[in-house]
Structure 1
Amino acid sequence: MRVVNVTADAETFTCNAYLALGDRPVLVDAGAMDGVVDAIRDHTDALDAVVLTHQHGDHVQQLDAVLDAFDADLAAYDSHPRRDTALEDGDTLEIGDEEFEVVHTPGHADDHVAFVSDSTIFSGDVVVHDDGAFDYGSFGRTDMPGQSREELIASIREILGRLSNPVEHMYAGHGGEFHGDVRDVVETALERAEKREPKYPE
Structure 2
Amino acid sequence: MEVYNVTDDAETFTSNAFLAVGDRTVLVDVGSMPGVVDVVRERVDDVDAVVLTHQHGDHVGELDAVLDAFEPELLCYDDHPRRTRELHDGDIVEIGDETFEAVYSPGHADDHLAFVSERTIFTGDVVTYSDGAFDDGSFGRTDAPGQSREREIKSIREILTRLPASVERMYAGHGESFHGDVTAVIERALERAERREPKYPDE
Question: Deviation of residue 32 (structure 1)?
Answer: 0.3
Question: Deviation of residue 201 (structure 1)?
Answer: 0.1
Equivalents in 1 of 2:72, 2:93: separation in Å?
Answer: 15
Deviations 1:127-154 (A, max 9, x none): 0000000000000000000000000000
Is 2:156 the counterpart of 1:156? yes
Gaps of 5+ in 2: none
Question: Deviation of residue 185 (structure 1)?
Answer: 0.1
Equivalents in 1 of 2:106, 2:188: separation in Å?
Answer: 19
Equivalents in 2 of 1:156, 1:93: separation in Å?
Answer: 20
Is 2:181 the counterpart of 1:177? no
Equivalents in 2 of 1:122, 1:157: separation in Å?
Answer: 16
Matched position secondary structure for 1:121: strand
- In structure 1, what residue type is equivalent to 2:124? G
User: Which of structure 1's runs of 4+ aligned residues deviate more than 2 A?
Assistant: none
| Identity across matched positions, percent | 70
Match of residue 168 from structure 2: 168
Match of residue 144 from structure 1: 144
- In structure 1, what residue type is equivalent to 2:49? A
Question: Deviation of residue 166 (structure 1)?
Answer: 2.0
- In structure 1, what residue type is equivalent to 2:110? D
Q: If the length of structure 2 is used for normalisation, what is the TM-score?
A: 0.99
Match of residue 38 from structure 1: 38
Q: If the length of structure 1 is used for normalisation, what is the TM-score?
A: 1.00
Deviations 1:58-105 (A, max 9, x none): 000000000000011100000000000000000001000100000000
**What do you get for the CA RMSD once the two structures are aligned?**
0.4
Deviations 1:3-38 (A, max 9, x none): 000000000000000000000000000100011000
Is 2:66 the counterpart of 1:72? no
Matched position secondary structure for 1:189: helix
Gaps of 5+ in 1: none
Aligned length: 202
